[in-house]
A and B are shown apart, each in its own frame.
Chain A
């Protein structure tokens, strides 16, 4: 049967439903002790002294680690988004003499249990000498702003420009120029399981084992080796069950060095589980960008030019993602629109806030909000319907593959698709014309009802390579060893479907092994909606080699030319004589070293493959939403929400639509609720779920999710485009447009909190 395209039930589910999932917090090792991290309470200060005497005297405390125990510390390198200048502001795993955000690690306490470790944290005395703090990107760039890193004058460790076409000439030809500033607020991935690690050093085997690394297991394996000096062969990373990722979880953080260091230092297995308050201060945040943008159009709505400056608030240090979010913003700000003249200047800015990284649809969520808002502002001034303005500017199918022009850090050739067709389909599903009439009628009754569109192009499936090894095991089962990771998305199920189809076996005969560095030598992890694209493509390549090997073994045994053999239903048989056949278990026995060597064959049935590409697929689609806003309270009711996305080919439609629904819920959270507020001294004000508002079942509407596979990607053998991010990417855009339409205002920042909407309404009344 063909598994690809079928909504196969997830193989991950049953143990998780029984409570048998082993997450990192569920790992127990003999003699295990518990770490707690002492974090800076100051946004910017010198660390004058640390006194752990009282903590060390507390019964049950194993020890305390400070920077003094870690001479010659290296900084944590970027793994992506690399710009030379950003290296100057990388973070050491523990603060040496200065702290730059509330949450910066200052000391590690290890104790018999977590309760005692937290008691001891309160007994460690740190003397801080406060320095002035700066929290806003624009303020941090001012001449008199406090400098965070001595080597980085002006707090801008890197900037870059994108320049396509001739922007100045094009603006001179415009009939209308819309100029506006926009802001997207700091919020974050916030997976439900906080981070955690268990580290144990076995002196006899000389192996440091770590449970908990995920997302980028192999990258982190290499980074820990480089930072610690241990060879990779002495480090074993194991990815347990993972409670969500969304970009933040599984990067190399300070604790990814400190916890294994503590295990080796104290010669005890050490467990560290982040608590939620730490999670909201220490784990990568995201999305905080400021834009000044000009969009130039002709009277007929044709866009001629766009010019943007983006400030990317990075927080106190460069982390592993480097400048990736703003690279993505600057690349995808044009999104699905044909904009031939484009200039963008992007600035990475250091501030005394928690460092940042990616969050699902990094940089694109922000850029989509800005572009789609500008389009609606332009449409209003030109007297055009927002849908019509988009129709006139969407890249047309005959222009595919479409090259947006050179970008210093981003692949820019859209692979395939019919963007206008997708918009028309979405308008049809939504009943757009009728909805517009209903909005008009509602407004006539004094009700603030509006509709918003957010067109998008996503980018997924990042390379440059992925690894797969496929084996036929002793029982005849097929095992895929993949370099991608699971963060809870169901990748083992999707990869099993691909392998089962390719090997012509039942999905029940396929196992997937991932996230274990002892079993999988290489990997590029789970990010950028790449697992099915890259991991699936590598698996296909390895399967094809294994099939050749199976045919060679059968050919030697049956003394029949391989060309006269067929593979089906888990057996190889002679064409036209199905009774002469060998199943995979029999072939595995023939591949044992004894019989294989006797026949002059290489023993074993295991083949590796790398799928390598510099190209990327570009899924695309539309968000469309109808809202009603209560003019008294500023509360938004979502009346209907549609997400459409073309992802090339669906491996498992159920999982795809689950990704869309989950992404949308996060997008609604980001557009309406979630915000890391800091006071002007850099003190975070949202350090619990009482203040950081996550969307509940009452906040998220049912939504409608339509995934299509009309335009397979030509860039990989499966035709897939990656499906993890379309559900979130234009949520801020569509909701901001709908609210602007409902209230007759122009939203220029997120989130759409009631106070902000009341402010906009007041301003509109006064003008």
Chain B
């Protein structure tokens, strides 16, 4: 199949690569860019594990072709922490509040939460749950995830 050349900015760095038109953005991120923090849980856009930010919006990377992301700005979980020694407030609060168990859904949830906090710096629990409704977690029962996001929101506003 003919390959196309695409250029993306991922976590602030520019990447150019060749890809078949049918290649999913999730596979491009994981295999071509080696950023395996983006997980694939269903490949049909329900579980939300593969959520990344495309130009700031949460997107299921399993429902988008890599070629459609040509020229886009993409954020993955690997770019969330400001540096190697510091965690993002969301990551800190997930750690403090036991907001993860197996960690498989976590990257997608962190990115959804990041988009939420940009749009709404002070979300209610109901608003947090509405935003999370596109991300399945099988381990935690969501309780501690909601708490962690609520507390991270305060922390982000405080800083």
| Chain A residues near B (Cβ < 8 Å) | 9-10, 12-14, 16-23, 25-26, 115, 190-194, 241-244, 246, 275-276, 487-490, 654-655, 658, 661-666, 688-690, 694, 696-698, 700, 702-703, 727
A-B pairs, 8 with minimum CB distance: A19-B37, A488-B102, A16-B103, A243-B104, A665-B141, A19-B77, A689-B46, A661-B141
Are the CB atoms of B98 and A10 closer together than 8 Å? yes
Are the CB atoms of B140 and A665 closer together than 8 Å? yes
Partner of B129, one of A12, A192, A697: A697
Assembled-state Cα–Cα distance A698/B142 (Å): 9
Q: Provide 29 A-B residue pairs closer than 8 Å at the C-beta atoms, listed in order of the A residue.
A: A17-B87, A17-B106, A18-B78, A18-B87, A19-B35, A19-B36, A19-B107, A21-B37, A23-B104, A26-B30, A115-B22, A192-B136, A193-B41, A194-B41, A242-B102, A275-B43, A276-B44, A487-B102, A488-B101, A488-B103, A488-B139, A658-B101, A661-B143, A666-B138, A688-B44, A689-B42, A690-B46, A697-B133, A697-B142
Size class of the B contact interface (CB-based, 8 Å) = 35 or more
Q: Convert B23-44 into 0s and 1s, putting 1 for each residue whose CB lies closer than 8 angstroms to a CB of A.
A: 1000000100001111111111
The A contact surface, by secondary structure, is loop
Partner of A191, one of B94, B102, B129, B142: B102
Is there a chain A Cβ closer than 8 Å to B153's Cβ?
no
Is there a chain A Cβ closer than 8 Å to B119's Cβ?
no
Are the CB atoms of B23 and A17 closer together than 8 Å? no
Give the nearest-CB partner of A12 in chain B.
Answer: B103
Chain B residues with CB under 8 A of A191? 102, 104, 138
Chain A residues with CB under 8 A of B142? 665, 696-697, 700
Chain B residues with CB under 8 A of A694? 47, 136, 138
18 other A-B residue contacts (CB within 8 Å) besides A18-B37, A658-B139: A13-B94, A16-B103, A17-B95, A17-B100, A17-B110, A18-B80, A19-B76, A19-B80, A23-B104, A115-B22, A243-B102, A275-B43, A654-B98, A661-B144, A662-B101, A696-B134, A697-B130, A697-B146
Give the nearest-CB partner of B40 in chain A.
Answer: A25
Within 8 A of A (CB), among B131-159: 132-146
Tell me how far the C-beta of B24 lies from the nearest C-beta in chain A, rounded to whole angstroms. 9
Partner of B138, one of A18, A246, A664: A246
Give the nearest-CB partner of A22 in chain B.
Answer: B36
Assembled-state Cα–Cα distance A12/B105 (Å): 15
Assembled-state Cα–Cα distance A694/B139 (Å): 12
Are the CB atoms of A698 and B103 closer together than 8 Å? no
Give the nearest-CB partner of B22 in chain A.
Answer: A115
Chain A residues with CB under 8 A of B61? none
Are the CB atoms of A21 and B103 closer together than 8 Å? yes
Tell me how far the C-beta of B36 lies from the nearest C-beta in chain A, rounded to whole angstroms. 4
Is there a chain A Cβ closer than 8 Å to B49's Cβ?
yes
Assembled-state Cα–Cα distance A244/B41 (Å): 12
With A17-B110, A23-B104 already in contact, the answer to whether A10 and B95 are too (CB < 8 A) is yes
Tell me how far the C-beta of A36 lies from the nearest C-beta in chain B, rounded to whole angstroms. 13
With A192-B47, A661-B143 already in contact, the answer to whether A697 and B132 are too (CB < 8 A) is yes
Are the CB atoms of A696 and B102 closer together than 8 Å? no
Is there a chain A Cβ closer than 8 Å to B51's Cβ?
no
Partner of A700, one of B35, B42, B49, B141: B141
Are the CB atoms of B137 and A658 closer together than 8 Å? no
Assembled-state Cα–Cα distance A362/B98 (Å): 26
Are the CB atoms of B141 and A662 closer together than 8 Å? yes
Assembled-state Cα–Cα distance A633/B42 (Å): 30
Tell me how far the C-beta of B119 lies from the nearest C-beta in chain A, rounded to whole angstroms. 17
Tell me how far the C-beta of B111 lies from the nearest C-beta in chain A, rounded to whole angstroms. 10
Chain B residues with CB under 8 A of A654? 98
Q: Convert B105-131 into 0s and 1s, putting 1 for each residue whose CB lies closer than 8 angstroms to a CB of A.
A: 111001000000000000001001110
Partner of B133, one of A193, A243, A698: A698
Assembled-state Cα–Cα distance A108/B141 (Å): 36
With A9-B96, A18-B78, A23-B39 already in contact, the answer to whether A244 and B140 are too (CB < 8 A) is no
Chain B residues with CB under 8 A of A688? 42, 44, 46
Tell me how far the C-beta of B138 lies from the nearest C-beta in chain A, rounded to whole angstroms. 5
Chain B residues with CB under 8 A of A194? 41
Give the nearest-CB partner of A669 in chain B.
Answer: B138
Partner of B102, one of A192, A666, A689: A192
